[in-house]
Amino acid sequence: MGITKTDFMRGMQCQKMLWLDKHKPRLKVIPPEVQERLDAGNDFGDRAMGMFGDYKEMTILRPGTNYPDTKAMAERTTEHIRLGTPVICEAAFIYYNNYCAVDILRKTEEGYDFYEVKNSPEVHEQYIKDCGFQNYILSRSKIDVGNIFVVTHGEDEDNPFVINDVTTEAKGLYKWVNDNIWNLNKMQKNPEEIQVEVGEQCCNPYECWYYGYCHK
């Protein structure tokens, strides 16, 4: 049981949130408007896959489910890196069971740039932290990471994608990720429920799906 990109971001917002994800996920309540935003984000991400032309997508689902087969995706990604595929979408990497799937991995002369796609008009701090986690996993997986970008949406359909360079900020989080990823790994395996006082983290940067449970 390692840490995924989503696990890391949720655990850094609140460790109890991550613990509940692993041990009591039945308690989560996702409001309809939040689910709509998540679905819209997925649609925007699917559209962005073709922003550089032809690409190969790594997504493989476990038979009979909508859950990704992370091991199979990582193996497929390794094969396409070996083949020199120019653009790889949902490129998957595993480092000591910690996992991330990069929205767009683009080959350069020196290594690879990667792009995190967000259905938002601007770059928020949590997006940079998200990229910091991915940079950590890719670097530990022996990928030469060049530039890092967050893709936000443009003003209209004529200019649907805006590419924002966050390389310096994201790479600067390497030690922060390393200092926290192993603590979250250990914490999520705790058999006893983590106790955290309710507070600002319940709604910042996102309202927790366990808000009702913790505030009852």
Say how far residue 79 (Cα) sits from the centre of its chain: 22
Q: Is the pLDDT of residue 216 over 90?
A: no
Average pLDDT of the residues of the chain: 96
Contact 1, 19 (CB under 8 A): no
Number of domains in the chain: 1
Q: Is the pLDDT of residue 201 over 90?
A: yes
Q: Where residue 195 falls among pLDDT bands split at 50, 70, 90?
A: very high
Q: Residue 131's domain spans which residues? A: 5-215
* CATH number reported for the structural domain that contains residue 188 in this entry: 3.90.320
What percent of the chain stands above pLDDT 70?
100
**Mean pLDDT along residues 48-64:** 96
pLDDT number for residue 158: 79
pLDDT number for residue 55: 98
Q: Give Cα separations from 103 to 3, 14, 175 (angstroms).
A: 18, 25, 23
Of 100, 103, 119, nearest in space to 36 by CA: 119
Q: Where residue 160 falls among pLDDT bands split at 50, 70, 90?
A: very high
pLDDT number for residue 30: 92
Q: Is the pLDDT of residue 1 over 80?
A: no
Q: Is the pLDDT of residue 99 over 80?
A: yes
**Mean pLDDT along residues 102-131:** 97
Q: Is the pLDDT of residue 79 over 70?
A: yes
